[in-house]
Amino acid sequence: MADVTGTTTDTGTRYDFGGDEFVYVEISPEMSLPAHFASLAITRRLREEALPGVEEICPSNASYMVRVDPDRIDPRDLVRELQRIEAEVGSAASEDPDFVVDTRIVDVPIMFADPWTHEVLMRFRDRHQDPSGTDLDYGARINGYDSAESFIAALAGAPYLVTMMGFVPGLPWCFQLVPRERQVEVPKYVRPRTETPERAFGFGGAFAVIYPVKGAGGYQLFGSAPAPIFDGAQEQPDFADEDSVVFFRHGDLIRFRRIDQAEYDDVRGQVEARRWRYRTRPVRFSPSRWLADPDGTNAALVGELDR
Amino acid sequence: MASHTITARTPGVFYRRPTPDAEPYVADGATVAEGDTLGLIEVMKTYREVKADAGGTVSRWLVENEDEVTIGQDLVELDT
Amino acid sequence: MSVLVRDPGLETTVQDTGRLGHYAIGFPPSGALDSYAYHVGNALVGNAPGAAALEAVYLGPTLEFTTDTVVAVTGAEIPVTLDGEPVPTWESVAVRAGQTLAFGQLAGGARPYVAVAGGIDVPPYYGSRSTYTLVGIGGFGGRALAEGDELPLGDAAVDPRAGRRVDEADIPEHPTTAELRLLVGLHSYRLTPDSLERFTSTPWKVTPDANRVGYRYRGAELEFVPREQPFGAGSDPANVTDCGYPVGSVQVPGGVEPIVLLQDAVTGGGYATLGTVVSVDRDRLAQTKTGDHTRFVPVDLDEALTIRRDRAGRLDRVRRSLA
């Protein structure tokens, strides 16, 4: 039996079928910004082309997935179209100064080392790599930081890109926009927790997430967001205005801003009064510019929020 | 004396106790009334009580605690 | 015009064809797991395709009707009664106001479907009436039915009529060992060739952890090919860089207990997937129960597409015969 049914192109991109209804495309087995930019560019072009039979386009970190109606397009023909688009825009996404993404940057307050995730993570120490400390202590140590404080400073020190949405509705997978040598990486829990508080700020592999709702979870717990990212009843103005139950979109830029308990409580008060709004600014993001000057580009992007 | 057998209505894992440290719902030889809880079946992460659909005396367990059971499987025999 | 829930059964939910189009923001499709039984039920009671019906599992609900209507039970093999009198399944049945529909002990399969003329008229949420309990949306209050619920019925039945019956040959059988056809692939290269072979030769037993989110199986241990994990994937050999999961895909966290993801599953994550069950065979899977056995049979894309066309043709033929 053949162990891989798909095909691989010269670029190393792997095309395969997820049953009769999905085409799965893996740009790279490892996460990298160029791999993500290729996924971003290809899925944006695919959306513009509106090919018949393309039902849903799901960009992800270093891959993407298309739900296909095989009664309208043979999945093999779709793969040929995707390979054409990859040739046209895949590598150009990182190299061509003309490839830009019109998106927004969002200010997302986070209380690190908050009491709520602390209480939960201490109850699940038996499922953790290091039962003796906290998740922040552990993350700091294995990433070479001398203290939880300096680790938090790094986590909040550069913006993130939402490279994938999903797992559960509204959950953003956020990849920090820093060169590889500065990227934080942490393992998931040895055994997943049966509990994670709503709006917990977690980290697993190379990705930061906010949990939209409470539930099981295996990511390291570093903090808590006071503001909702999922609003099933669309009570908050941001959600009502957009007529959406989820706040984030693929391609959003995020600044996780460290806040204290007073600001946390203040935001909670606004949420309870149903008048919370995220601070957002429209920005134009150029992958090639970022790759040429990460820190300068980040400063300009974050600067938009504080203008 | 007649006997009556109580069967599983769902598949799952059968428990004789409400929690691992608790006493069994009913002891061997105990007398139960219709509607009494005899055990639990865990399936799809939910627990459903197994109720006696007749009164009687517990004469014989036909499954062990924590056995996986199927629908219609005999669980316990009552002398009625 | 309503149905009163006298006994909810076990995890009985309102379902339709599903909430399609929002996978990219993390909404799984939800919807009836056994799509054939669901569609045929609607055809029997004269509903347009897509009307909401009830999906039960293992135990049927007990339902009292406040109005004269027509119902049909399809799916699992289970005795059904109306005011205590047996009524047939896979056949439309007239119900008078005040009558009660109840279920006996399941004899085969796992999930009965109850279609009612006009459909269950709960408000659509993101384009669907399907229940998605994880975040509590859709269906009746975003949850499984509870005793005392009153389900509104729609008035859009196209042609409600009792006495429509599905041919014996078009009623699926539900053996206690199911064969699920799948396309091997995705991250199947992460398993050793021996393990991949073992995956398709093992009769897997359905564990008690088997619901609308996914089915977990036991039966063999599978091994991953050792490697230095790529950046972003995490340290466990079962992990890959987080990606989308096709509905029906199979993952093996820890190398034991493969899980087939179903219509209420997470939409993505970091476990290696080794293939995807073809969409039609999710119907078969939905009719397996804890303790049953399952074999995974590899097929190629051509076969998968043929299976799909055959099913569509069969459903068309059944619908025409009932029209």
Are C321 and C44 contacting, i.e. CB atoms less than 8 angstroms apart?
no
> What pLDDT, in 10s, does the model give residues A224-238?
999 999 999 999 999
Distance from the B29 Cα atom to the nearest Cα atom in chain C, whole angstroms = 28
- At residue A199's C-alpha, the angle toward residues C243 and A106, to 5°, is 75
Report the chain A residue with the minimal C-alpha distance to residue C137: A232
**C261 at A interface, C-beta within 8 A:** no
Identity of the residue in C185, C196, C243 whose CB atom sits nearest the CB atom of A61: C243
How far is it, in rounded angstroms, from Cα C299 to Cα A34?
Answer: 35
The ipTM value here is 0.96
**Quick check: A4 pLDDT over 70?**
no
Overall size of chain B counted in residues: 80
Tell me, what amino acid is at A247?
Answer: F
Tokens for C292, please give them. Answer: 């049953």
Count of CB atoms within 10 A of residue A62's CB?
28
Identity of the residue in C11, C105, C210 whose CB atom sits nearest the CB atom of B71: C105
Q: Is chain A touching chain B, with at least 3 CB–CB pairs below 8 Å?
A: no
C213 interaction partners in chain A (CB closer than 8 Å): none
Inter-chain CB proximity C279 and A19 less than 8 Å: yes
Q: If you classify domain C177-311 with CATH, what class do you get?
A: mainly beta
DSSP chain A: --S--SEE-TT--EEEEETTTEEEEES-SS--HHHHHHHHHHHHHHHHHT-TTEEEEEE-SSEEEEEE-TTTS-HHHHHHHHHHHIIIIITHHHH-TT--EEEEEEEEEEEET-HHHHHHHHHTGGGSS-TTS-HHHHHHHHTT-SSHHHHHHHHTSS-EEEEEE-SSTTPEEEEE-S-GGG---BPPPSS-BS---TTEEEEEBTEEEE-SS---B-SEEEEE-SS-SB-TT--SHHHHHHT-SB---TT-EEEEEE--HHHHHHHHHHHHTT----EEEEEEE-HHHHHH-HHHHHHHHHHHHH-
Report the chain B residue with the minimal C-alpha distance to residue C58: B10
Distance from the C274 Cα atom to the nearest Cα atom in chain A, whole angstroms = 9
Q: In Å, how far are A43, A51, C12 from A81, measured between CA atoms?
A: 12, 9, 42
Q: According to the model, what pLDDT value does residue A59 have?
A: 97
**C240 at A interface, C-beta within 8 A:** yes
Task: Give domain limits for chain B.
Answer: 3-79
B68 interaction partners in chain C (CB closer than 8 Å): 208, 290-291
The listed range with the strongest mean pLDDT (B28-32, B56-60, C76-80) is: C76-80
Task: Give domain limits for chain A.
Answer: 7-95, 101-306
Inter-chain CB proximity B43 and C58 less than 8 Å: yes
Are C153 and C97 contacting, i.e. CB atoms less than 8 angstroms apart?
no
> What pLDDT, in 10s, does the model give residues A143-163?
999 999 999 999 999 999 999
**C289 at B interface, C-beta within 8 A:** yes
**B17 at C interface, C-beta within 8 A:** no
Q: What's the mean pLDDT in A178-188?
A: 94
Report the chain C residue with the minimal C-alpha distance to residue A162: C25
- Percent above pLDDT 90 for chain C: 94
**C24 at A interface, C-beta within 8 A:** yes
Tokens for C231, please give them. Answer: 């950046």
How far is it, in rounded angstroms, from Cα C7 to Cα C112?
Answer: 15
Q: Tell me which residue has tokens 């695919």.
A: A46
Backbone angles phi, psi at C190, to 5 degrees: -75, -20
Overall size of chain C counted in residues: 323
Q: Does domain A7-95 have CATH number 3.10.180.10?
A: no
Q: Does domain A101-306 have CATH number 2.40.100.10?
A: yes
- What part of A 251-290 touches C (C-beta under 8 Å)? none
Inter-chain CB proximity C10 and B70 less than 8 Å: no
Inter-chain CB proximity B68 and C210 less than 8 Å: no
Are A285 and A101 contacting, i.e. CB atoms less than 8 angstroms apart?
yes
How far is it, in rounded angstroms, from Cα C46 to Cα C162?
Answer: 9
Across C33-176, the runs of DSSP E, i.e. the strands, are 53-55, 62-65, 69-77, 80-82, 85-87, 92-95, 100-103, 108-116, 150-152
Inter-chain CB proximity B11 and C10 less than 8 Å: no
Inter-chain CB proximity C105 and B9 less than 8 Å: yes
**C267 at A interface, C-beta within 8 A:** yes
Across chain B, the runs of DSSP E, i.e. the strands, are 3-7, 12-15, 31-32, 37-43, 46-51, 56-61, 68-69, 74-79
Distance from the C207 Cα atom to the nearest Cα atom in chain B, whole angstroms = 8
Distance from the C314 Cα atom to the nearest Cα atom in chain A, whole angstroms = 15
Distance from the B22 Cα atom to the nearest Cα atom in chain C, whole angstroms = 23
> What pLDDT, in 10s, does the model give residues A246-287?
999 999 999 999 999 999 999 999 999 999 999 999 999 999
Distance from the B9 Cα atom to the nearest Cα atom in chain C, whole angstroms = 7
Identity of the residue in C20, C193, C308 whose CB atom sits nearest the CB atom of A70: C308
**Quick check: A113 pLDDT over 50?**
yes
Are A269 and A236 contacting, i.e. CB atoms less than 8 angstroms apart?
no
> What pLDDT, in 10s, does the model give residues A217-227?
889 999 999 99
**A45 at C interface, C-beta within 8 A:** no
Are B6 and B38 contacting, i.e. CB atoms less than 8 angstroms apart?
yes
Inter-chain CB proximity A170 and C25 less than 8 Å: yes
Inter-chain CB proximity A3 and C135 less than 8 Å: no
| Beta carbon pairs, A and C, within 8 Å | 200
How far is it, in rounded angstroms, from Cα C247 to Cα C238?
Answer: 19
Domain topology for B3-79: OB fold (Dihydrolipoamide Acetyltransferase, E2P) (2.40.50)
Q: What's the mean pLDDT in A47-76?
A: 97
Which residues, given as ranges, of chain C have pLDDT below 50? none
Return residue ranges of chain C for CATH 2.40.100.10.
177-311
Tell me, what amino acid is at A26?
Answer: E
Selected for mutation to probe chain B from C11, C33, C55, C58 (highest B CB count within 10 Å) is C58
- What part of A 15-44 touches C (C-beta under 8 Å)? 16-22, 24, 26, 28-32
The pLDDT-based confidence of A11 (bands split at 50, 70, 90) is confident
**C193 at A interface, C-beta within 8 A:** yes
**Quick check: A2 pLDDT over 60?**
no
Tokens for C230, please give them. Answer: 């790529």
- Percent above pLDDT 70 for chain B: 99
- What part of B 35-74 touches C (C-beta under 8 Å)? 42-46, 48, 68-72
| Beta carbon pairs, B and C, within 8 Å | 45
Q: According to the model, what pLDDT value does residue B80 have?
A: 87
C137 interaction partners in chain A (CB closer than 8 Å): 232, 245
Distance from the A40 Cα atom to the nearest Cα atom in chain C, whole angstroms = 13
Chains contacting B with at least 3 CB pairs below 8 Å?
A: C
Higher local confidence (pLDDT), C34 or B20: C34
- Among residues A89, A181, A94, A102, the alpha carbon closest in space to that of A144 is found at A181
**C254 at A interface, C-beta within 8 A:** no
Inter-chain CB proximity A58 and C134 less than 8 Å: no
